[in-house]
Amino acid sequence: MNRGRDGCYIGSAEASECKTLCGIVAGISEEEIAPILLEGLRRVEYRGYDSAGVATVSEGKLEIRKEVGRIDDLESKYRASGMKGRTGISHTRWATHGRVTQANAHPHASCEDLVAVVHNGIIENYRELRERLIKEGHVFKSETDSEVIPHLIEEASRTGKDPLAATLSAVRQLRGQYAIVAMFRDHPEVITGARNDAPLVVGVGEREMFLASDVLAFISRTDRAVFLDNMEVVEVTARGYRVFDTDGVEVEKKPTQLAWELSDLSKHDYAHYTLKEIHEQSVTVERAYLQDAGKLDSFVRALRGAESVLLTASGSSYHAAMLLKDRLNRDGIVRCDAVLAGEFEDTAHFLDKGTVVVAFSQSGETADLLHAVKVARGKGAKVISVVNAAGSSLARESDEVLTLNCGPEVGVAATKSFTAQVMVGNVIADAVVGKSTVGDPAAVGRLIAETLATEEKVREIAKLFRDRPDFYFIARGHHYPLALEGALKLKELSYIHAEGMPASELKHGTLALIEKGTPVVVLAPGGEGFESTISNALELEARGAEVIGISDKEHPVFRHRVGIPPSNESISPILEVIPLQLLAYFMATERKNDPDYPRNLAKSVTVR
């Protein structure tokens, strides 16, 4: 292994164990693999990462190049694209515990450099495994939990086991959450992988095969994928793949044709993916409306037959779920509640066979949500879900699935997936309740396009307020989740403190914080609640706040106003959120933040 060359590898690691939110891209091809892997890594860059690495095998040598920083650093410092070999593995690491060091970056190799491994997840029993391996003479170069894996595989290989058998032997000893890919110095014709509670997908190409944590990693090479399930191990060669359970019994798995297209991954003329995805909403909302009639019918039957309905999700998906909760309760067909996925186990006590749990997620890989689903299932509840990533863990663990159909969302902040979720929520509620509130989806697209024309106005507002330390967002009733969404988006992209709250709650404490110049975004579309919200805005104005109104109506209290077209309660949230997304985006660019990759955030939060 070329460890010393170019200073690719540093001596000792001091980090404690880490949890990782990582991207895995591995493959075997008839072409040189390193450039293909780097392109794949760039496509999963959106997941967030702090270090990156590549390993290839060629002429009996295993070579690793890894570094703290961006994929571009790996290329500029170590010329990773020039690495020799047609078999390789690569990784982006996102450390949440422990230091970010070169030694802790992946791939990790076994002591005799027989095996290199990349890993996403947490090995819970790594301390005991590591102690035993050290006693047996293994030398560790990092302090990550992941490094036990190549040592375990090497140990099994030394007893004469082939790559698949050695991987199975290692996997049987692991406890925890993982997606793993291993590569073998003496078997360049094969890579192996395993998954448990972390995504891993096989990409089936023409005389080339891939293993990755996300289909985006290989979508430019193939649109056929095999989604692995938990406790499955895979053996991949350039010509094919075989999947096994952990007892080594082969499992038949057929490839799925992916619907996402490569063109969805281009920024086109936009400066950032986030802005492109905000603009795409006039089209994606219409696509979200078009649901398979049979699937929708199963969803509706499940909801109508439920004794109670519990919606669950995280972040923006939760805000979309809150809107559906409101709609279903308002129409009184079924009793419905919403709980954050991370709070599910501790608060969802009254679950039983009569409960239907509805899970909302863009990625379908959010660990808190997958855990909530496991808890719900354990209590006998039915689980139905609304996801963007059709082959995701959530989709596969649900009894019924509706998809958002909004294409890959690359910007870390949820934008088009949120409006698609709101639209699918409307479609579900309309079908359950038996009335149409959406009307013509193309007309909704036109209303979105009209709202997007406020872009310049929102940019001016962002310029005015870019240096304010705090922002507040208020709304009433059905509009309240939008106040939460506006605050979340602003925090994520601008790093400014922001709070979203019911307008009615202001006087119970928060008014104390309002001073001259404090920006407060008031979501006040005409209709129910308008007058009461305006009263709150007047209270704010009297205390010096700069009221930024988002409304289809004019009012003197609005110091600044972003006009949205009039609509009904189902469509209004989709329009209200657009100026909020644009505000967060322009606040980020005004403050020189990268809106596509905000600090400390990962697109799919795959650890709990």
Contacts with ligand F6R, residue ranges (CB under 6 A): 314-317, 361-363, 366, 369, 413-414, 488, 492, 604-605
Active site residues: 22, 603
231 is written with which tokens? 């406790």
What's the closest the beta carbon of residue 261 comes to ligand F6R, in angstroms? 20
What's the closest the beta carbon of residue 395 comes to ligand F6R, in angstroms? 12
Query: Nearest CA to 331 among 258, 429, 421?
Result: 429
- 548 in Cβ contact with 558 (< 8 Å): yes
- Checking DSSP bridges between strand 250-251 and strand 382-387, what pairing results, if any? unpaired
| Beta carbon nearer to ligand F6R, 111 or 601 | 601
- 253 in Cβ contact with 243 (< 8 Å): yes
55 is written with which tokens? 């390993």
Looking at the DSSP bridge assignments, the partners of residue 548 are: 521, 560
CA dist 514 and 498 (Å) reads 13
| Beta carbon nearer to ligand F6R, 75 or 485 | 485
- 580 in Cβ contact with 550 (< 8 Å): yes
What's the closest the beta carbon of residue 393 comes to ligand F6R, in angstroms? 11
| CB neighbourhood size of 542 (10 A) | 11
Q: Is the alpha carbon torsion for 429, 433, 436, 437 positive or negative?
A: negative
| Beta carbon nearer to ligand F6R, 366 or 533 | 366
171 is written with which tokens? 């996997």
| Beta carbon nearer to ligand F6R, 194 or 404 | 404
What's the closest the beta carbon of residue 163 comes to ligand F6R, in angstroms? 33
What's the closest the beta carbon of residue 421 comes to ligand F6R, in angstroms? 8
What's the closest the beta carbon of residue 116 comes to ligand F6R, in angstroms? 30
Q: What is the DSSP letter of 197?
A: B
Cβ burial 384-411 (10 Å sphere, 16+ → b, else e): bbbbbbbbbbbbbbbebbbbbbbbbbbb
**Alpha helix positions (H), 367-526:** 367-378, 393-396, 416-433, 441-452, 455-465, 480-494
What's the closest the beta carbon of residue 118 comes to ligand F6R, in angstroms? 22
| Beta carbon nearer to ligand F6R, 120 or 192 | 120
Taking CB positions, which residue lies at the least distance from ligand F6R? 315
What's the closest the beta carbon of residue 317 comes to ligand F6R, in angstroms? 4
| Beta carbon nearer to ligand F6R, 492 or 596 | 492
Q: How many residues does the chain have?
A: 608
| Beta carbon nearer to ligand F6R, 243 or 577 | 577
Our CA angle for 211, 215, 218, nearest 5°, is 65
CA dist 254 and 102 (Å) reads 38
| Beta carbon nearer to ligand F6R, 222 or 403 | 403
523 is written with which tokens? 């979501």
- Dihedral class, residue 558 (left if φ above 0, else alpha if ψ from -120 to 50, else beta): beta
CA dist 541 and 514 (Å) reads 9
